[in-house]
Structure 1
Amino acid sequence: MTTTLVTGGTGTLGRLVAGRLRTDGHEVRVLSRRTPPYAVDLREGGAGLGAAVDGVDTVVHCASTPRGGDERAAAHLIEAARRAGVRHLVYISIVGVDRVPYGYYRAKFAVERLVEESGLGWTVLRTTQFHDLVARVLGALSGPPVLVLPARIADQPIEVAEVAARLAQLAGGAPAGRAADMGGPEVRSFESLARAYLAATGRRRAVVKVPLVGRTYREFRAGGHLAPDRAVGKGTFEEYLAGRFGGRDGRRG
């Protein structure tokens, strides 16, 4: 039986990866900042990290935050993994990190390079955005009476459970380098996703599209974050919304 460490193992993706690995017969350790016995802040490193990777065959690195520190966290993890003789490091990234000059994407791309240059066996999987992230963004935007969207932007959301299953599969195999990207089943205008969200949550909002400026917006508008040729996901955004909001009575403000 192999031992696999999942960083960020209590998060949206990590907990599903850990569960899938256990179902597949792996012994799983979960690392997060606040969950014993492997409560470790990767940005700080320390002795706890060494204990977490000791005896581990594979690390699935899901821990990430747009608030900064991903590169430092990855450097600490890689150093500890080298010392422990970890065989395989699997990293989850985002489609477009090498094209869209958004700060968080740049950090993810930098971590990809650290993984590739780590000297460890490695696999990197890029996916498009998860359904729940798109829903969280739309929930925040739909708070005011008018829902303001960036004009001419599309997205390709994917079901997080499908990504978790693929990561678990990759973790159980040999290092694969850059795995084929995973995109959701449909490339959709952000307006259509917003209207689906409003319908599912019973919110009535005027939708206004506003053009933005700058290179980051241009790259998003050009579809640098999309993978239309890798639309391998099955679950649609409407199916996600039905599962999450289907029991509501539509009388939300």
Structure 2
Amino acid sequence: MRIAIAGVSGLVGSALARAAQAAGHDVVGLSKESGTDVLQPTGLADALTGAEALVDVVQSPSLDEDGATAFFTAAAANLGTAAHEAGVRRTVVLSIIGVDKIAASETEAGTGFDGYYRAKYAQELACVAHAPGPHVVRSAQFHDIARQAIGWGRDGDRTTVPDLVTQPVAVDAMVEVLLAVATGEIEGDLVEVAGPQQENLALLSAAYAERAGDPVQVDGAPVGELVRDGVLLPGEDGHLVGPSFDQWLDATVTVPARRP
């Protein structure tokens, strides 16, 4: 099967390309590095010629709500129009669990990135409106968020990390579900994917820091009611895939050697 990946040079796109190629699929990569700009419609249809499925994993250069919304909706419209022109039959866009509820809420969810979540929901709507055969895959946060969160609120030897209740997933495991939706192995207009167990982000960051030998003190920060109620958690029909965070940590982060 010929699968086009928009955002192929990013973390998810490159992992998806490896998984697709390992499964015997022909991958067409769309990225600025390959000379394709999703914000410029010219040439997109030619790049998609012969593709049976398109997977949109592009990443906005901005986390600001207005900037991210403008980027995601323009990219989705351009990709959808080009996919129709090229005869693509199936489109998959990667999103985040809970974006619809956060977008519909009149109060802040307390994720720290509520605006970005609303932008991702706008991307979903644009994909459904413009793309052929649209499917949405909503993922939980990736395991590496534990490392990233340490830097968000760091001040010297202390950092503040939201007490997010999430069910983090490994990127390589998530892209297998993304690929299965692209090929039609997994059906459904909306598919959720998450890791095997619920976790607290502040505790994950503390565990990461300890394993990495980072002496930073991690303090938990309160979150909004939506997050406390599990807005970032998968529903009953979600696809739960391993490894767990502890297994990922063991395989990913090397314990620093002690000095003699």
**TM-score calculated relative to the size of structure 2:** 0.84
2:234 corresponds in structure 1 to 227
CA distance in structure 2 between the partners assigned to 1:65 and 1:181 by the alignment: 21
> How big is the alpha-carbon RMSD for the aligned residues of Structure 1 and Structure 2?
2.3
> Could you tell me how far 1:234 is from its partner in structure 2?
1.4
- The partner residue of 1:202 within 188, 213, 227 is 213
Q: Aligned in 2, Cα 1:46/1:175: closer, same or farther, shift over 3 Å?
A: farther
> Could you tell me how far 1:83 is from its partner in structure 2?
1.0
| 1:248 aligned onto 2:243 | no
| 1:171 aligned onto 2:182 | yes
CA distance in structure 2 between the partners assigned to 1:186 and 1:108 by the alignment: 24
The residue type equivalent to 1:106 in the other structure is R
The residue type equivalent to 1:53 in the other structure is L
CA distance in structure 2 between the partners assigned to 1:239 and 1:28 by the alignment: 30
Residues 153-193 of structure 1: CA deviation (Å, up to 9, x unaligned) = 32211011111111112211278342431121121122221
Identity rate, percent: 29
> Could you tell me how far 1:221 is from its partner in structure 2?
2.9
CA distance in structure 2 between the partners assigned to 1:79 and 1:20 by the alignment: 27
| 1:120 aligned onto 2:132 | yes
Give SS of 1:52's match. Answer: helix
1:110 corresponds in structure 2 to 122
Q: Is the 8 A contact 2:169 2:244 kept in 1?
A: yes
- The partner residue of 1:53 within 45, 48, 56 is 48
1:3 corresponds in structure 2 to 2
1:89 corresponds in structure 2 to 91
**TM-score calculated relative to the size of structure 1:** 0.86
Instruction: Tell me how many residue pairs correspond in the alignment.
Output: 241
Gaps of 5+ in 2: 63-67, 104-113
> Could you tell me how far 1:235 is from its partner in structure 2?
0.9
The residue type equivalent to 1:87 in the other structure is R
- The partner residue of 1:132 within 129, 140, 144 is 144
1:27 corresponds in structure 2 to 26
Does 133-142 or 81-90 show the bigger shift?
133-142
CA distance in structure 2 between the partners assigned to 1:12 and 1:218 by the alignment: 31
2:109 corresponds in structure 1 to none
Q: Aligned in 2, Cα 1:172/1:211: closer, same or farther, shift over 3 Å?
A: closer
Give SS of 2:156's match. Answer: coil
Give SS of 1:56's match. Answer: coil
2:107 corresponds in structure 1 to none
1:42 corresponds in structure 2 to 38
Does 163-172 or 218-227 show the bigger shift?
218-227
1:13 corresponds in structure 2 to 12
Q: Is the 8 A contact 1:8 1:30 kept in 2?
A: yes
Give SS of 1:196's match. Answer: helix
> Could you tell me how far 1:210 is from its partner in structure 2?
3.4
1:76 corresponds in structure 2 to 78
CA distance in structure 2 between the partners assigned to 1:243 and 1:66 by the alignment: 30
Residues 101-152 of structure 1: CA deviation (Å, up to 9, x unaligned) = 41111121112122223361122111100112332222454562112123x4
Give SS of 1:117's match. Answer: helix
